[in-house]
Chains A and B, each alone.
Chain A
Amino acid sequence: MAQAAIELIGINKSFGAVRANRDINLEVARGTIHGIVGENGAGKSTLMSILYGFYQADSGEIRVGGKPVSISTSNDAIALGIGMVHQHFMLVDNFTVLENIILGAENDALLKSSIAKARSELDRLEREYGLEVDPDAVIEELPVGLQQRVEILKALYRGAEILILDEPTGVLTPAEADHLFRILKQLKEQGKTIVLITHKLREIMAITDTVSVMRQGTMVATRTTKETTVGELAELMVGRRVLLRVEKGESEAGAVKLSVKNLTVKDSRGVTMVDDVSFDVRGGEIVGIAGVAGNGQSELLEAISGIRHAVSGEVMLDGKPIDLTGKADPGELRDRGLAHVPEDRHHVGLVLAFEENENSILGYHDDERYLKGPFLDVDAIMADAKDKIEKYDIRPGNPRLKTANFSGGNQQKIVLAREMEQDPGVLIVGQPTRGVDVGAIEFIHKRLIAMRDQGKAVLVVSVELDEIRSLSDRILVMFAGRVVGERGPDATEGELGLLMAGVEHQEAAE
């Protein structure tokens, strides 16, 4: 048997009353891809953070290459050849791609030679793995999909022997994910060891050699991938049977609630991101927008929700126009029944430094329910937060906990709970289940469909084709800022994939 690259023995870690890891044993063989799955809050990220030196275990031992090691900072981990791509990007927003890549690896004061070296190295990596990004683009101007690429490049640049990826495919399309997997396989062939955390069981089946399942802080099973099934893994994770595709009836589309006409949006550099887009969303239907990340979906959502200035076009909410000058008051749009779950929950949808209950009113803090005159009605806010925690099974169920300390999936539930519980007439959702476990996906999908059945108009933007296909009554595909096709819910993956790649669009242009 191959020698173990990493061994974790009896790892325990508590955060106050929360036991994030209990007696975890894990062995990862050298030159393999090892998957870790588990519900939101199961402790996956915590375990990997211990391995990467972000947290110290309360007890337990770590061995790398057979030798017991102590890892107290991420520098120790890097020195041991461990690299990590985080679930939540660790990029400096106002640095360029290149600057982010060399951050922490600079080796002379003037940076001149490191920059030149990094540039050629980056170029090589980009070509080798087909991970194109403009090295001089500023991170905050890149859509999340591309930011992810930078994270991956950053880890590769450090030349790690053991690579930990915490939900790397969260924002990638299946095609992009396949691409990433080709890279991972290549790395594996070169003898590198990969630990992959993901909520997508399909990915586990496709790429891993072995898979471990965590539940509520414990390691419940380890399987050889070839000998297990998606159904078994889902059941091990959640402890019950899970519906992988939610049932839904026929839609009964009513009046048009949201209407977008000839909308054109440019980004801060003047590049056209949304190009003459028109569509309607009716009450009682879910319209899904599919597309590879970075094809204008983010900008479209932002323009519709009044956050971003649109160059031209018209958006009507219940027959009345929305101010598209970029000065629209999102608060007023909320009053008119428009709820928005933004794609970027960390910078936009949540204030991570706030307590959970404070985030559960973000954007609705003007609402009388939460106020007593100019004062916050703390009791009402708390009761409301507890109510949502209960309904959406947000864990840990402590409304005083700082939001940054919730696991990714639970943070997403905080945003969803806030927006869905307002009972909006129109709900627009960016990446509804990014980083959310199978059990919670089932739950969120059921909720979205229930909203549809109540006659609400729902617009979903997702890079998950599966999600788009199982939720949508109509599917629009965006490519290079344009809507390049509309399909019914029975469109095949291949058909949509071609549209997303712009194939038909290019043919039409010729």
Chain B
Amino acid sequence: MLHIKCPHCGMRSQNEFSYGGDASVKRPELNKEISDQDWDNFVYYRKSLRGKHWELWQHLSGCRQWIKVERDTATHEIFKTHKASEDIS
């Protein structure tokens, strides 16, 4: 079970969180023309990286905030956690 540092609440066990996928995906702006390819990339295509990866988690049984977590998908090492409002680097 992972140990995740919620930027709002501190270290918490994985079972308080739910996983939300790739944090680098940006939703296209509303009311903007977008090609089929770009829309498909947004909705369906994910890289499924091995290694360092920014991902979203929601602290569901805690503060209910969505947070960004930099995790190694192979080793499960967690390097950084950010609030939703912070940009990933």
The judgment on whether A and B are partners is no
